[in-house]
Amino acid sequence: MEVGFPGPKNETASKALYFSSRLGVHGRSEDFGSAQPTIPAQIPSRRLNSAAEHNLFQYFDHVVVQALATIPRTSVTLRAVIARLALSSNAQSSQAVMQSIFALSSLHRHGIQLQTIKFKTSALGALRSSSGSGIGRHEVARHIAALMLLCAYEIEQAWNSSCQWLFYINGVKNVIKASSPSIEQDTDHEYLALLDWVHYQDTMAHFSLHHWRLRKRPGKDPGFDQLVSLLPKPGVKISLKFEQPPISHFIFLRLLSEVFSTVQDKSYPTFCGEDYKNRLKLLELNISRVKNDDVSICFYEQDTARCFEVFQLAALIYITRMLGDSGDDDLEETTNSRISAGFAILAKMGTCTRQFPLLVLGCEARSDFDRITILDLIDRTRVKFPSACLVGLRNLIQTLWAQDDLAEEALEYEKKLTAVISSSETLPALF
């Protein structure tokens, strides 16, 4: 089976070096605990060939994995799944997962350097070697894990300067689509956790795609023309440009996916139609009814309940704002109540690695107190999970505030959000 790798198949260290020159800000963190990495039972740790590799694996297990943009299952965490896929075999596909772990951990801990690039190049080489002889059920899972880790690598090392992460998501979807029998029908928790990871990032990519407007500029990134072919054409809904996302049993995520596939800007002739408004209102109602006890998976945060609640509130606020000014006083009161509740939750959270609720609530921050709440939470999160993505998010939110402060009257929500997200040179990964 031919695996759909993102970008040109002859990607080399020279291309990685090109991206390294465009690296954003990276934090450093040395304190990640003295505990040994969580290696699944009966898996020999000798597959970690040196103290340096053992250290990178430990750092991934204790720090990096918690910052991955996903919604893993409570019964089997993504950290255990990835570790098992990397350590359970000497196959090239397992090596691809392991080298991807090393690349991402090295990037988070040390920033871009030659060894980091070598890890990434080795991961890509192992993936190609593995796919050359055809891949089976277990190899499919390893390919998904490796590609998603490399997607996280691209997001972290080139936030706001490269769209390569989008190719990796579509590459993973090609792997899923080509798998036979379909991995989407597999009930193994290991595979469901991976699919939820893909589904979450694919869903949130649609949010970015809706609000980011492609801008022509000199010095295009490699693969920029291929990116253009993935973007929705004017007048064509995003959902028509992408195959259906992988199956997920998380009802909230499914509803959120429907929201991003439904929302329109005012240029669409059906924007003011009753069918469109009724569909969004129905989605709002269904999302408001989802309770934390009703779902089988939770966000990977220390305080999972709070993280779910603030994400749910952000989704409801976003839907209401995208409906436009309805003149309904009761609806406006409900929205204001949700905004207040959202900020109350954020003030209690120690960290929040999910960008969507921070951005949506950031749009609603008018007082200095609310703005400090947002910035303090981002800064606390950056201390524990150093990430260029959070630096980029902080800049976007502060740009939103500057627009609000300079405006003589209230700005239209959709136009403001789109203008600020489009200020990014390339499509931002707002996971």
In angstroms, the Cα distances linking 63 to 33, 35, 57, 255 are: 9, 12, 10, 30
Q: Measure the CA–CA gap between 111 and 55, rounded to whole angstroms.
A: 15
Residues 6+ apart with CB under 8 A from 177: 243
Helix H segments across 324-387?
329-348, 355-363, 368-384
Q: Name the amino acid, one letter, at 260.
A: F
Q: 322 and 263 in contact (C-beta within 8 Å)?
A: yes
Helix (H) or strand (E) holding 194: helix 189-211
What residue ranges do the domains of the chain occupy? 13-194, 245-421
Query: What pLDDT, on a 0 to 100 scale, did the predictor assign at position 400?
Result: 95
- pLDDT at site 185: 56
Residue 24: what pLDDT? 29
The number of beta carbons lying within 10 Å of the beta carbon of residue 207 is 24
Rg value, the chain, Cα: 21
Provide the pLDDT for residue 360. Answer: 97
Q: What is the mean pLDDT of each run of 10 residues along the chain (431 residues)?
A: 35 32 32 39 59 91 83 60 90 95 93 93 94 77 94 81 83 81 58 83 90 66 59 43 48 88 72 82 93 54 74 95 80 94 96 93 96 96 86 94 91 91 86 84
